[in-house]
Structure 1
Amino acid sequence: MAGGWRQRSGSTLLRAGLPALLCALHVQAACQDVTVTQELLKEGFHRDLLLKVELGVVGKDAGGCTVAARTRLPSGVYVDPYELASLQQQNLTKAVLIPDVIDVEAPEYLATDLLVLLYMEPDPRCSGCFSAALPVHGRYHRPADDSEEALVVLKSPEVLACCCDSGLSAECWKPAEVEAPCSGKTSGACQWYSTRHKPVYEASILQVPVGLRQHSSLVCVVTLLVTVLCSSLILAAACKYGHFPLVTCSE
């Protein structure tokens, strides 16, 4: 009797929980329809980080909302705040830097991570698609022992939406703590929401050229010789072509 009761109870719980499980899996599959692609353009120290977001089914709830990507840049790269301010004046990009004071001259081993909230623009060629570009710059790294490149890993960003006039699906969008205004809608902070997404690539890798430790002596000697040579040429040119009027002192 006890065994049969437990079996019937287990079957009842299974029948009751199966629809809820299927519903949860369906919601999760629908909410993961967001796709994020990031790509590094150009070569060397000065690059452009191109971000593309395709909301898909989740985008049906984001009409009239501001979409942004929140990404954390490691200490190996930075964003020039003066360059960013110039781009924002030209309406070429819009972003919020945290912190907003950045030492652009600091090397990688003395810098800290940077949090960037990058506002995205709708892509007219794709419904529910958004894109934005952000100029990033590689920092100088310590000389390496056996490699001429340092690898800086840029992880996939978080997709955010700020809807000051409409709501979002509670199944797909969750409240996020972001201290930043909705672009073009209000000057104060408003409620942002985040959603799960499927990155096309888990991370992008920036290759930054670095020097080799065994070349340190050679670099120092060549730098000293070039400095002395250039200084001598400047001094010789100044003495040959310069005009130095005599200054007399009168009582």
Structure 2
Amino acid sequence: MYFALLSVLVCLSTCHSLVKKDENQDHCGLLRQCLEASTVSVELGKTGFHREVITTVELRPDVLGGIRVLLLYRWPSGVYVDPYELASLSSQRDWQVLLESSVDLELPAHKTSGFLTYVYPSYIEPIPGFLKVTIPVHGRYHEPSFSGKTFTSVSIEPPELLLRSEKCTQLNRLDLHNILDAPCTVSNSSTCSWVKIHHQQELSLQFPVGDGSAVAPVCGGTILVTMICCVALSKHMWKHQIV
């Protein structure tokens, strides 16, 4: 009797493992299909130093059950995002953002480095077929040019689309070169393994730069005008006995 009961338990355990394995393979297969069918496109809005990077993600809605979406932006040193502006716009957008580090809004481009932002779209299951994210970005001031150029180019890469399924635990069945560890949620309390898609589209922004050849005459003229004003002011104060 005990032997029969043990055999039943072993059989049930084996069946449960097989079912769980099949479910895991199914969810990993759905994740792979979603990766192959998803696209990311980026365009620019507005002009001047204050622009918008508009990202549209097209997803395959019929395979998106239980799949999470994350956009990873790798910003160059020539631009920045204003965390205070993002906070003020929080009620007007349907996504949350996590900055990798603090952003100094005053530094010029040649004295700072690039940074990362993680954008988590907010939605209620199932995921819609299209997700749209509009991020305001601002150009930094650049070093003056000594070659006569009046504008400089800043290249912006499209975001990496990261997908994750909590029910797909065997990511080694996918391409390991596309596995990336990133925060699970915007709270940044833990990291998870995500599968990424990197798109080759690239955008270029043009920002004006100063004329480096004018540095000497501008500085010399400024000093000369300052000295003349100081002399004139001193003579006026001496003449009228202003103390």
TM-score, normalised via structure 1 length? 0.63
> What residue number does 1:50 align with?
54
> What residue number does 1:103 align with?
104
User: Aligned-pair distance for 1:175?
Assistant: 4.0
Q: Contact 2:73–2:158 (CA<8 Å) still a contact in 1?
A: yes
What CA distance in whole angstroms lies between the structure 2 residues aligned with 1:129 and 1:169? 27
How many residues in Structure 1 have an aligned counterpart in Structure 2? 194
> What residue number does 2:192 align with?
191
Q: 1:177 to 1:30 in 2, by over 3 A?
A: closer
> What residue number does 2:203 align with?
204
User: Aligned-pair distance for 1:65?
Assistant: 3.5
Q: 1:35 to 1:210 in 2, by over 3 A?
A: same
Quick one: percent identity of the two aligned structures?
A: 32
What CA distance in whole angstroms lies between the structure 2 residues aligned with 1:32 and 1:128? 14
User: Aligned-pair distance for 1:195?
Assistant: 3.5
> Quick one: which of 176, 181, 187 aligns to 2:180?
176
User: Aligned-pair distance for 1:203?
Assistant: 0.5
User: Aligned-pair distance for 1:155?
Assistant: 1.2
Pairwise mapping of residues 80-99 of structure 1 onto structure 2 (< 5 A)? 80-88=82-90, 90-92=91-93, 93-99=95-101
> What residue number does 1:214 align with?
213
Asked if 1:36 corresponds to 2:40, the answer is yes
TM-score, normalised via structure 2 length? 0.65
User: Aligned-pair distance for 1:36?
Assistant: 0.9
User: Aligned-pair distance for 1:29?
Assistant: 9.0
> What residue number does 1:20 align with?
none
What CA distance in whole angstroms lies between the structure 2 residues aligned with 1:176 and 1:60? 25
Q: Contact 1:50–1:132 (CA<8 Å) still a contact in 2?
A: yes
Q: 1:74 to 1:64 in 2, by over 3 A?
A: same
User: Aligned-pair distance for 1:131?
Assistant: 1.4
What CA distance in whole angstroms lies between the structure 2 residues aligned with 1:181 and 1:105? 31
What CA distance in whole angstroms lies between the structure 2 residues aligned with 1:61 and 1:226? 71
More helix per residue: 1 or 2? Answer: 2
3-state SS of the aligned residue for 2:210? coil
Q: Contact 2:144–2:210 (CA<8 Å) still a contact in 1?
A: yes
Q: Contact 1:61–1:167 (CA<8 Å) still a contact in 2?
A: no
Asked if 1:129 corresponds to 2:130, the answer is yes
What CA distance in whole angstroms lies between the structure 2 residues aligned with 1:78 and 1:175? 27
Aligned CA-pair RMSD: 3.7
3-state SS of the aligned residue for 1:191? strand
Q: One-letter code of the match for 1:204?
A: L
Deviations 1:83-108 (Å, cap 9, x if unpaired)?
222223x2524211111x12111111
Q: One-letter code of the match for 2:214?
A: H
What CA distance in whole angstroms lies between the structure 2 residues aligned with 1:163 and 1:31? 12
What CA distance in whole angstroms lies between the structure 2 residues aligned with 1:48 and 1:73? 13
3-state SS of the aligned residue for 2:204? strand
3-state SS of the aligned residue for 2:89? helix
> What residue number does 1:143 align with?
144
> What residue number does 2:19 align with?
none
Q: Structure 1: state its 5+ residue gaps.
A: 1-26, 236-251
Q: Structure 2: state its 5+ residue gaps.
A: 1-30, 234-243
3-state SS of the aligned residue for 1:94? strand
Q: 1:132 to 1:67 in 2, by over 3 A?
A: same
Deviations 1:29-82 (Å, cap 9, x if unpaired)?
9843321111121111111111111123xx543334331210211111111122
Q: 1:187 to 1:43 in 2, by over 3 A?
A: closer
> What residue number does 1:161 align with?
163
Q: Contact 2:181–2:191 (CA<8 Å) still a contact in 1?
A: no
What CA distance in whole angstroms lies between the structure 2 residues aligned with 1:169 and 1:62? 18
Asked if 1:114 corresponds to 2:115, the answer is yes
What CA distance in whole angstroms lies between the structure 2 residues aligned with 1:29 and 1:63? 12
